[in-house]
Structure 1
Amino acid sequence: MSGGVDSSVAAYILKEQGYNVIGLFMKNWQDDSESCSAEADYADVAKVCNTLDIPYYTVNFSKEYYEKVFEYFLLQYKKGRTPNPDVLCNREIKFGPFLEHALKLGADYIATGHYAGVEERKGLFYLKKAKDNNKDQTYFLNQLTQTQLSKVMFPLENIEKSQVREIAKKLKLSTAEKKDSTGICFIGERPFKEFLKKYIPAKTGKILTLDKKEIGTHDGVMYYTIGQRKGLNIGGVSGTSGRWFVIDKDVENNVLYVRQNEGEELFSKSLVAEGFNFIPKVPEKIEFECTGRFRYREPDKKINVKINSNKVYVEFENLERAVTLGQYAVLYDRVYCLGGGEIIAKA
């Protein structure tokens, strides 16, 4: 129970189906002077559980979150990459210590408000896309193992987000109108630059065009992502017109490279991903065609895949815009998620 509308309705659905439901709230970030959202979320959990008449508990995995997710998050930013903490949080916390704690309480399964599904066939567990394609969250679940998938239920698999809101309103749940969280996993929404500066000292540097002309300064290359056009503060450069885009980041020399308008430098024909987790198992063929996503909420793209040990090489059928190191390449076969790995190179 996160304190949001999705997990609230997921709990209701399970109870209606006859399950003995227990609410479990996780606190994974120590509150500071900027954010007390965990307290407000827990208050909503209490209200919802009281309305649904189910017991609820709270657990604190702040130490595990910091060591297994946040430290890696910072390391990636220091390297100039743009990490995806939600993927790590699912693998290392929600379906790690959280699952273990639930089992110790006597639970047979954990259930979450993710928009996804699980299907078992011949002892193997498949991760499936949700009915609501706009909310499908299999991208964030690409690192889940067979053991983890065997112990999870996704009650919202076949429900549209609009239906979830309607159910919550009919039940008069306190979370019915609560907006979806869009901040860093378990840290919440806050001014990102100011938050990151607490952990990685800001280091100003040059903004250069691709022909090495200096046109401005940046606050630190870690604050920018490939393809970004907002927040560069270089509009109105003498003798130029058109929007500027981030094309590359030179971490070693602390240089941000930009160009005007979208050019070929912003597009890639292939990528390399490592740390690949295959669902339900490693494919028998080392080369095959399928579809893939390279960021959340984008349509599946046709790709050719080659597997070499723990690295996966992906060639795009069409050029792909703003492939970003640190994000995940996630493979699909129709409605099934085949797994994913972290993007470490592009060409």
Structure 2
Amino acid sequence: MLGSLWHGLKLRLTTQRRLPQKGDRVVMAMSGGVDSSVSAALLKQQGYKVEGFYMKNWDTRDERGVCPSEQDWHDVQQVCDKLDIPCTQVDFVKDYWHQVFQDTLDAYSAGLTPNPDVLCNQHIKFGSLLDKIPSDAWLATGHYCRTDGYGRLLRGKEPAKDQSYYLSTVPWTALQRTLFPLGDIPSKQHVKQMAHDMGFTQVAAKRESYGICFVGQHRKFADFLGQYIDQPAGQAVNLENGQVIGEHKGLFGYTIGQAAHIHHGPHKWFVADKDLETNRLLCVPGSTHPTLFHQACVARDWTWIHTYQPTDLDVWAQVRYRQHPLKARLTVDQDGRYRVTFKEPIRAMAKGQQVVVWDKDWCLGGGIIDDIIPATPPLA
């Protein structure tokens, strides 16, 4: 698909990245979870000089946050002690607040659906953390993805756990210095079994975390955001006829395509749009309503991992991490924004989401959805 482009890219690179060697220093970004713990152990087995870095991104003194960072830091120390490697806690609380959390709040307040994990990888893990690492050392993370000799970002071996989506804004210069020990591991269950075999029973038994850690396992994300975003409740209306069908609790707490949890009549209602000017939640009956399907999206703040700027490509694309990759065409609009047109209409695209494109397993980059184009002709 991108054969000629890749050929030209290799000519420009002239040489492969420096490949890791036994005895090289590797800084392992550790979270206290099973993935980073097993990664650190694998790196040590392979002969690297490994040290653990734990990133403190949230101030636990904020009574509104419940991130179990002290327990995570304790688990990191236990794993590092067992591996006989040094570990260090680094404070990125201010960086995270200003470069990730505040932008996330602003986006939700504006009716968008941002992805804070993409921002965290771009600005904190592969930004602030990488800046603290000596230039002759490698950074390693527990992401399920791979790189090759040229620093290309590739999908992980297990499609269901591939995390290259979250790294789509990380520049090639950072990927050249990064190792992904879990990229070739066949399954998450295999990683957990490895953790048990290595004696990491505590981290192997921990629940897998999803999203922002300080929201907590037993709190609704909308309830958490409500402590920071001051938006009033308002009317929920039927998009088809404008009839009021209930009340929403604040537009920031709803995402396009999700169940609206409005009890009115025989239908189950789903979010189709949000009108910030009138503070109304626009809903449609049924999860397959034609309004929920879109053909294309236009993205801003586009990042090409290798800095080249192709203008017309057949790609595989995703607008959500868990979404199955779909065939699409990538073009450039007259205003310079990238347009991703899907071969088949897809359900529930939302402004603010990250759209990411691949050539087969090679992650090329992505951008933030700025506009969405309905399916044409409309689905019957």
TM-score range, shorter chain: over 0.9
Aligned residues: 336
Asked if the contact 1:182/1:188 (under 8 Å) is kept, the reply is no
More deviation, 295-304/31-40: 31-40
Q: In structure 1, what is the equivalent of residue 228 of structure 2?
A: 199
Q: What TM-score comes out, normalization by structure 1 length?
A: 0.93
Q: In structure 1, what is the equivalent of residue 147 of structure 2?
A: 118
Q: Distance in 1 between matches of 2:158 and 2:117?
A: 19
Tell me which amino acid in the other structure corresponds to 1:304: R
Q: Aligned to 1:162, which of 177, 189, 197?
A: 189
Q: In structure 1, what is the equivalent of residue 22 of structure 2?
A: none
CA drift of 1:283 comes to: 4.2
When residues 310 and 26 of structure 1 are mapped into structure 2, their CA distance, relative to the original with a 3 A threshold, is farther
Q: Distance in 1 between matches of 2:304 and 2:215?
A: 29
Secondary structure of the residue aligned to 1:22 is strand
Deviation track 1:143-173 (CA, whole Å, cap 9, x = no partner) reads 0102111111100010021211111001111
Verify: 1:218 aligned to 2:243, yes or no: no
Tell me which amino acid in the other structure corresponds to 1:219: K
CA drift of 1:254 comes to: 0.7
After TM superposition, the structure 1 = structure 2 runs for residues 233-248 of structure 1, keeping only pairs within 5 Å, are 233-235=261-263, 237=264, 240-248=265-273
Identity of aligned residues (%): 40
Q: In structure 1, what is the equivalent of residue 205 of structure 2?
A: 177
Q: Distance in 1 between matches of 2:89 and 2:345?
A: 47
Asked if the contact 1:80/1:251 (under 8 Å) is kept, the reply is yes
Q: Distance in 2 between matches of 1:94 and 1:18?
A: 24
Q: Aligned to 1:300, which of 325, 335, 346?
A: 325
Q: Distance in 1 between matches of 2:336 and 2:148?
A: 25
Deviation track 1:250-281 (CA, whole Å, cap 9, x = no partner) reads 01211100011121100001110111111323
Tell me which amino acid in the other structure corresponds to 2:54: F
After TM superposition, the structure 1 = structure 2 runs for residues 248-263 of structure 1, keeping only pairs within 5 Å, are 248-261=273-286, 262-263=288-289
CA drift of 1:198 comes to: 1.7
Q: In structure 1, what is the equivalent of residue 363 of structure 2?
A: 337
CA-based RMSD:
1.5
Secondary structure of the residue aligned to 2:120 is helix
CA drift of 1:195 comes to: 1.6
Asked if the contact 2:215/2:224 (under 8 Å) is kept, the reply is no
Q: In structure 1, what is the equivalent of residue 338 of structure 2?
A: 312
Asked if the contact 1:28/1:186 (under 8 Å) is kept, the reply is no
CA drift of 1:243 comes to: 1.3
Secondary structure of the residue aligned to 1:98 is helix
Q: What TM-score comes out, normalization by structure 2 length?
A: 0.85
CA drift of 1:183 comes to: 3.1
Deviation track 1:2-35 (CA, whole Å, cap 9, x = no partner) reads 0000000000010000000000001000013351
Verify: 1:13 aligned to 2:42, yes or no: yes
Q: Distance in 2 between matches of 1:107 and 1:56?
A: 18
Q: Distance in 1 between matches of 2:313 and 2:308?
A: 12
Q: Distance in 1 between matches of 2:246 and 2:50?
A: 56
When residues 162 and 313 of structure 1 are mapped into structure 2, their CA distance, relative to the original with a 3 A threshold, is same
Q: In structure 1, what is the equivalent of residue 126 of structure 2?
A: 95
More deviation, 138-147/240-249: 240-249
Q: Distance in 1 between matches of 2:324 and 2:258?
A: 20
When residues 135 and 57 of structure 1 are mapped into structure 2, their CA distance, relative to the original with a 3 A threshold, is same
Q: Distance in 2 between matches of 1:147 and 1:199?
A: 35
Which structure 1 segments of 5+ residues have no match? Answer: none
Secondary structure of the residue aligned to 1:94 is helix
Verify: 1:140 aligned to 2:166, yes or no: yes
Q: Distance in 2 between matches of 1:9 and 1:334?
A: 28
Asked if the contact 1:209/1:257 (under 8 Å) is kept, the reply is yes
After TM superposition, the structure 1 = structure 2 runs for residues 17-28 of structure 1, keeping only pairs within 5 Å, are 17-28=46-57
